[in-house]
Chain A
Amino acid sequence: GNSVTQMEGPVTLSEEAFLTINCTYTATGYPSLFWYVQYPGEGLQLLLKATKADDKGSNKGFEATYRKETTSFHLEKGSVQVSDSAVYFCALPHNFNKFYFGSGTKLNVKP
């Protein structure tokens, strides 16, 4: 069945550092892939998505490329800010009914 594996956190970076959060997936076919972000005390929000192989999703300076060869969808940002401190979840559909979410990676950005 479909599943995702995320790197464990927490990840602690200084402001303006480069961010990578790894996500690999196992899937039947080529489902859409998603990154969600959860800020403290809030629900999950869609950050970006990619719908097919080699697509790049981007939003708020974050990017992720759907890599079929390596079954990966790593999240990157060139220069993080304190306001990016949150928990990030990789996700993909199990079937049209429901999604699988990764376990989440907490990012702490220090000024």
Chain B
Amino acid sequence: NAGVTQTPKFRVLKTGQSMTLLCAQDMNHEYMYWYRQDPGMGLRLIHYSVGEGTTAKGEVPDGYNVSRLKKQNFLLGLESAAPSQTSVYFCASRSHLDGYTFGSGTRLTVV
């Protein structure tokens, strides 16, 4: 099925460890996004990309980096994980004319 695929689905990290979350979409969408969802905070935009090779900061970019080397992939990196980064992370993509398609999420716990 076409859509947005996120890997991994679950991960536990120790403080200071690094990891990369992968998002892949097969709909040829130009725009891709990384959000985090925390209880009582709704969705907050971390970084986004308007096309291959481009990235931009969202509302809460600190502690994260992203790359969009290929149009279909958008990677979110945590260089040195902190407990405050415990959250559920959602990737999304969209075309210029339509709404978002979301992945099923990555539940990250930093201990």
Binding site for B on A (CB under 8 A): 32, 34, 36, 41-46, 49, 89, 91, 96-99, 101-104
Contacting residues, chain A, for B92 (C-beta < 8 A):
43-44
CB distance from B45 to the nearest CB of A (A): 6
Stretch of B13-21, B66-74, B96-104 with 4 or more beta carbons under 8 angstroms from chain A: B96-104
B96 touches A44 (CB 8 A): no
A101 touches B43 (CB 8 A): yes
Q: Which of B4, B58, B96, B99 touches A34 (beta carbons < 8 Å)?
A: B99
- Does chain A have a CB within 8 A of B56? yes
Ordered by A's residue number, 16 sampled pairs between the chains whose C-beta atoms are within 8 Å are A36-B100, A42-B104, A43-B4, A43-B92, A43-B104, A43-B105, A44-B43, A49-B99, A97-B56, A98-B33, A98-B45, A98-B58, A99-B100, A102-B42, A103-B41, A103-B42
CB distance from B95 to the nearest CB of A (A): 10
Q: Mark B30-67, 1 if CB is under 8 A from A, else 0.
A: 01010000000111010010100000101000000000
Whole-angstrom distance between the alpha carbons of A43 and B103 in the complex? 6
Q: Which of B50, B58, B102 touches A43 (beta carbons < 8 Å)?
A: B102
CB distance from B66 to the nearest CB of A (A): 14
- Most A-side CB within 10 Å, residue of B33, B41, B56, B100: B100
Whole-angstrom distance between the alpha carbons of A96 and B104 in the complex? 23
Contacting residues, chain B, for A36 (C-beta < 8 A):
99-100, 102
A45 touches B102 (CB 8 A): yes
CB distance from A45 to the nearest CB of B (A): 7
Contacting residues, chain B, for A99 (C-beta < 8 A):
99-100
| A44-B31 contact given A97-B48, A98-B45, A103-B42, CB 8 Å threshold | no
CB distance from B88 to the nearest CB of A (A): 9
Whole-angstrom distance between the alpha carbons of A43 and B104 in the complex? 4
Contacting residues, chain B, for A41 (C-beta < 8 A):
105
B99 touches A98 (CB 8 A): no
Beyond A42-B104, A46-B101: 11 further Cβ-contacts under 8 Å? A32-B99, A43-B105, A44-B92, A44-B100, A46-B100, A89-B43, A96-B96, A101-B42, A103-B41, A103-B42, A104-B42
